[in-house]
Amino acid sequence: MLVFVGLLSGASSAQVSSWPIRALWYTSEDPLGYASSVVPTDLKTLKERLCPTHVLLRIHLYQTGRATDDPHIDPQRTQPDAVLTRAITEAQRVGLKVVLLPAIFVDDGTWVGVIAPANVSRWFTRWREVVLHYAQLAQSLNVDVLLIGTELSSMQRYSTEWERLIREVRRVFSGKVSYSANWWYDRTGFQSVLNMTHWALLDYVGITAYFELTNTYTPTVAQLRAAWQGDRHGQNILSDLEALHQRYKKPIVFWELGYQSRDGTNIFPWDFTRRTPPDEQEQADAYRAFFEVFSGRAWFEGYGLFAHQVGLPRDAVGYDLLGKQAESVIAGWHCKT
C-alpha cells in the first residue's frame, strides 16, 4: 500500500499546487448526461476529494467516414448548447474553471488520427464553423480554455489552415486556446508534432500523453520515473517535450493523461479494450512517478486526468480514481494540507 508521507519525495506539495491547470475529465456518452440531476453533486465530490482547478468537458462531434469532409454537430448525438451551458455553470458554481473540448468521432470506426478527407479545404471550412460555434458559446460563459481539436494527427500538417482557424477563434473568444496532439512512439511521430508551426499562435503546446512507459507488468516507481527518459520504444520523452518548449516558447500541458487500474496499464495506457486483471497499485504508481518527474519543471503547466463519468460509477479496471489507491496519490499532490 502507498503511504502518504512517501508521496512527496522529490517535490513539495507547494510546488505541485502551483501548476495552474490541474484538470479532471468529466464525460458522458449520453448527449443529455450533463443535464443529469447528479452533476452538481458529482462536481462537488470531485472538487472536495481530488482538488482540481479545472473540469474538462468533451463535446461529441461526428464525421461520416475516413475520407469524408463533413465534421458536424449531430442533433441526436451532440450535447445541446443548453445542456453544456448547465454543466459549465454548475462547474463554475463549485469553484472549477472549465476546459471545453470539441472532439470528433468517426461513424465508420476510423480513429480520428488517420482521417483523410478527399477535400481538405472543405473539411477545414466545416471544422471552422463547428469550432467557432463553440468559441462563441465559451466566450458567453467565461470558459477558461478552449481546445480546437484533439488527436487529429493526419491533419496537423496543414498549418496554414490551423493558423486561419486560430485567428478566427481569437476574434470571438478571449480565453486561452490550445490543441491536443497525440503522443508519439517513434521519431517520425515526434517530428510531425515538432513541425506544427501553428503552436506559435496557441497559448499551450498540448499533448494527449498516453506514452508507453515500460515493458514490465510489475514496474517499480523508480522504473516508471526512468521511463520518461527512456520509454519502451527507447525515446526520451522529457527531452522531446523540452525541445517543443524551446522551439515555440510555449508551456506544455498534457490535456489527456490516464492510467487504468489494470495490470499492464503503464505499457498500454491508451488501450481501454485490453482484458487484464485489476491492479490498483500499478495505476497509483504510474501517477506517483508522473508527479515526481514533472514537478518543478518550469515549462510544464498542468494536465487533464482522464477519469470520471457522470454518476461517478466505479470500474474495478477503469480510469476512474475515487475509492482507489490512486485517489490518495492524486489528492496528496493536488490538495493543500
**Per-residue pLDDT band at 334 (split at 50, 70, 90):** confident
**Per-residue pLDDT band at 337 (split at 50, 70, 90):** low
pLDDT tens, residue by residue, 155-165 = 999 999 999 99
The pLDDT assigned to 15 comes to 43
Which domains does the chain possess? 4-334 (3.20.20.80)
The pLDDT assigned to 4 comes to 29
Mean pLDDT, range 115-124, rounded to an integer: 98
pLDDT tens, residue by residue, 50-97 = 999 999 999 999 999 999 999 999 999 999 999 999 999 999 999 999
- For residue 123 the three cell numbers come to 473539411
pTM: 0.94
